[in-house]
Structure 1
Amino acid sequence: MFKTLRQLAVASLLLPYALSLHAEVINSLPSKVQHALKANKISTQSLSLVALPLNGPGNSMVFNADVSVNPASTMKLVTTYAALELLGPTHQWKTEFYADGPLKDGILHGNLYLKGGGDPKLNMEKLWLLLRDLRANGVRQVTGDLVLDRSHFVQPTLPSFNDDGGDSNKPFLVAPDALLVNLKALRFIARAEGGQVRVAIEPPIANIRIDNRVKVLPAVSKCPGWPDVRYNPTTTVDGTNVIVSGSLAEGCSSQTYLSLLDHPSYAAGAIRAIWQELDGSIQGTDRLAEVPKDARLLVRAFSPDLVEIIRDINKYSNNTMARQLFLSLGAQFRDEVDGDDAKAAQRVIRAWLARKNILAPHLVMENGSGLSRAERVSANELAKMLQAAWKSPYAAEFMSSLPLVAMDGTMRKRLHRTPLVGEARIKTGTLNNVRAIAGYSRDSNGNSWAVVAILNDPRPWGASAILDQVLIDLYRQPKLK
């Protein structure tokens, strides 16, 4: 009996090694992926691919795995997974109002301070609730200034990025800030009604003036999906002027999001607009300063948990929120030697990966979002990180943040009418010369894989079909007997 148990114990110890001896590593691309590359006139050397079985049999696929490549937004996987483990899934950010004077009969005799804590999701609803709380705590009028404290981050000096060199007012280009309000987005709504076009702006910030030159056209049976309404902003010392031109058919409407103001102007403008709606007043001016040590806390608001934040980042590839999170990692673990919070985040993430025995000589992180020409990683490094995340206590939280194929996020419109619907959770990445996917997929036997496919090419046309083919081939594993 003892001998039998000992033999079983030895066999159980040797089983993983026996499996690894029989497993193969495939160092070539699947034939249909090669065909898709050739059909789109893209070299096979432009593609890096790693697919690793996680919980069942299968041959790993490895091709150009240790080449330094630009990962585009798949870099967000590094930032969000690191944040889950280093900050914790229940981490929250706080935003606070302070006063430096007495409050009597609804009048704050002094200055009102707003201290930002780097909240990536301080939207208009949250700001409105925070100001409602301030109102409920007895503040109606402020005799002093509105003072913004943006000192939570030690901001890095990074190059600006605009992939196509076009409109620099696009919301996805918004830089991070300790007091980021509503992603600094302005919503312009134009509507043709009663023979004239009305243009509204939300939030209604006072120092933005509209010069409405939109012409009304006769009503049509179906409003166009892309109305001819154009916005041309100019900034002066008195504020921002926006010339709205083009045409709009009677009964039709147009909606556009722009980022026109700097962070302090937007935050102060939004606060004043909401405060006025709540029948409040601030008599002083807007300025920047840190909250005095003897100031009194009036109200405080907390962000959603980190789990909700990373879901927004990965599902919809939100660059600004990812950059906020990256700097938040730096601010949390800042050291005197770092210089700024981006350098601190880089140091902390490298140390965290080293503790997992993941050496990443190709990894270059600039802002943690992938919206960069400098950021680099290898497919092998990213796949090893996904493999580690699979074993993490927070694996479920991390995986649920990724887009479901053919169902939501940036994968919502891909791979319909295939067996992969809902079977894979894939983060996408897109720059002018980059197309990438990374995440988890199940095969036809129900086993899970970590997969990374990154295409760097001057003309990556048809890349989505190529990367989708990678997932299809991965799904079509031989049936287990």
Structure 2
Amino acid sequence: MIKSFRSIAIASLLLPLALPLHAATVTTLSPKIQQALTANKISPASLSLMAVPLNGPGNTVIYNADVSVNPASTMKLVTTYAALELLGPTHQWRTEFYTDGQLKNGVLNGNLYLKGGGDPKLNMEKLWLLMRDLRANGVQQITGDLILDRTHFNLPQLPVFNDDGGDQNKPFLVGPDSLMVNLKAVRMIVRAEGGKSIVQMDPPLTNVRIDNQLRVGPAAKCPAWPDVRFNPVTQFDGTSLVVTGKIAEGCSGQSYLSLLDHAGYTAGAVRAIWKELGGSIMGADRSGEVPGKATLIARAYSPDLAEIIRDINKYSNNTMARQLFLSIGEKFRDKADADDSKAAQRAIRSWLARKNITAPHLVIENGSGLSRDERVSVREMNTMLQAAWQSPYAAEFISSLPLVAMDGTMRKRLRKTGMEGQAHIKTGTLNNVRAIAGFSRDAKGTTWAVVAILNDPKPWGASAALDQILLDIYRQPR
């Protein structure tokens, strides 16, 4: 009797893991998915799909699962899940101010060092609070230089990615840096009042001058964004931002740009905030390392990793993902690694091997998916998601993904289908890629690991087919 009871108990514990192994496997696409592909003139051969029930009944779907494909931003799932287990969900980054001088009567007689620790989310508010600490510690005037220590990462030399060959000042193209402030982005606000055009930049970088050549036209219906063009011109003493085009009387608009290099942006932001706080820096801006005998005078910590990956996955933030990828490399760097990108690749492959996940198709360049070289198969990605489902940090990982029809990059998809909030799905988009990956519930309450990646020269309308995959899972026959 006792032996029978124990057998039943053990069987009940193993049942959720056994179900996918005992269920049937489907190797064809449903008629509705085929119809969606045909309607958008996309070959079924362009689609790779794998969907596996994790804790209940259902037929596993496998289609082109072992083809090497470009995953676009679904690659962020590899980076963020690896980071959770390799760095830990409570991992934080530090940003610090040091000095090699002495403070007397509000004057810091020496240099001010700002040391970056690779914080993916060092925004203007955090930098302002850090500099408020300087003021609270009695610092007002700095007689020496502002020295930026950007040595935390051993940065790789990777090709600049630009999918459409357009404006290099797009914020989503910003690369990583040990001392990255505000994702190196500025918000440009334009408006027309009283026949005059007004152009403002936030934050107001001290080393960028605005050359306003914007013309004001007669009152008209305001467009979503006026006909305004920004042309950064780098000069020996800074950058001029030439603003041209036209705007109608009474209209306004805003846009985001990436200006300057990381060092120039950070120095301009620090000086702008310090000026607003009533302080002054007498010396120049330059790069250098914090000397061993320098004194720590202020420190700020980032949010923990669990919050960082939410920003990365919900809003598909490429720059933060690249910062996180290099943070893995910095943590596990050794002398054999050429840079922190190579170190991260090695660390992630070792981690996968320890989890018995073989991934011969996996190619990681920068960990964000903003790459032409990154590769994976949907079987490899799905196997990783199955492992994440069993991870002690499953809750943190899953909650970082966009909720269907509710937030992030999935907020406008599958509305009024009954699927609102029923799936956590990461999206991926490049010119020739459309992808989804994550966890989706069916109407019976079973959770599925689903990965669908479409590589096609003309993937326009592919989202309809990917959405149909999620609908097919949700509407599993009873």
TM-score bin, normalised by smaller chain:
over 0.9
Return the offset for 1:206.
2.2
| Local SS of the residue matching 1:386 | helix
2:184 matches 1:184: yes
Q: Which residue of 2 aligns with 1:118?
A: 118
Determine the C-alpha separation between the residues in 2 that align with 1:196 and 1:391: 61
For the aligned residues, what is the CA RMSD?
1.6
Within a 5 Å distance, the mapping from 1:137-176 to structure 2 comes to 137-176=137-176
- Amino acid of the residue matched to residue 133 of structure 2? D
Distance verdict in 2 for CA 1:206–1:369, change over 3 Å: same
Q: Which residue of 1 aligns with 2:109?
A: 109
Query: Does the 8 Å contact 2:148/2:263 carry over to 1?
Result: yes
Distance verdict in 2 for CA 1:14–1:191, change over 3 Å: closer
Q: Deviations over 1:118-158 (max 9, x none)?
A: 00000000000000101110111111100000000000111
Determine the C-alpha separation between the residues in 1 that align with 2:54 and 2:206: 55
Determine the C-alpha separation between the residues in 1 that align with 2:27 and 2:419: 24
- Amino acid of the residue matched to residue 67 of structure 2? V
Determine the C-alpha separation between the residues in 2 that align with 1:21 and 1:398: 24
| Local SS of the residue matching 1:290 | coil
Q: Deviations over 1:29-72 (max 9, x none)?
A: 11111111112111111100000101101110000001110000
Return the offset for 1:6.
7.3
Q: Which residue of 2 aligns with 1:375?
A: 374
Return the offset for 1:191.
1.2
Determine the C-alpha separation between the residues in 2 that align with 1:199 and 1:319: 28
Determine the C-alpha separation between the residues in 1 that align with 2:282 and 2:14: 77
TM-score by length of 1: 0.97
Return the offset for 1:11.
6.5
Q: Which residue of 1 aligns with 2:409?
A: 410
Q: Which residue of 2 aligns with 1:398?
A: 397
Distance verdict in 2 for CA 1:170–1:17, change over 3 Å: closer
Q: Which residue of 2 aligns with 1:362?
A: 361
Q: Which residue of 2 aligns with 1:129?
A: 129
Q: Which residue of 1 aligns with 2:51?
A: 51
Total equivalences in the alignment? 478
TM-score by length of 2: 0.97
Flag structure 1 segments of 5+ consecutive residues without an equivalent.
none
Determine the C-alpha separation between the residues in 2 that align with 1:212 and 1:289: 35
Determine the C-alpha separation between the residues in 1 that align with 2:432 and 2:335: 37
Q: Which residue of 2 aligns with 1:344?
A: 343
- Amino acid of the residue matched to residue 364 of structure 1? V
Q: Deviations over 1:6-42 (max 9, x none)?
A: 7757976996798567511111111111111112111
Determine the C-alpha separation between the residues in 2 that align with 1:143 and 1:9: 73
Q: Which residue of 1 aligns with 2:23?
A: 23
Return the offset for 1:238.
2.3
- Amino acid of the residue matched to residue 428 of structure 2? G
Identity %: 73
- Amino acid of the residue matched to residue 421 of structure 1? E
Determine the C-alpha separation between the residues in 2 that align with 1:141 and 1:425: 50
Q: Deviations over 1:372-414 (max 9, x none)?
A: 0010000000001111111111111111100001110000111
Larger mean Cα displacement after TM superposition, 372-381 or 248-257: 248-257
Determine the C-alpha separation between the residues in 2 that align with 1:76 and 1:346: 13
Query: Does the 8 Å contact 1:229/1:254 carry over to 2?
Result: no
2:276 matches 1:277: yes
Q: Which residue of 2 aligns with 1:333?
A: 332
Query: Does the 8 Å contact 2:17/2:54 carry over to 1?
Result: no
Return the offset for 1:223.
2.0
Return the offset for 1:207.
2.2
Flag structure 2 segments of 5+ consecutive residues without an equivalent.
none
Query: Does the 8 Å contact 2:19/2:56 carry over to 1?
Result: no
| Local SS of the residue matching 2:460 | coil
Determine the C-alpha separation between the residues in 1 that align with 2:267 and 2:211: 23
Within a 5 Å distance, the mapping from 1:202-217 to structure 2 comes to 202-217=202-217
Return the offset for 1:218.
2.4
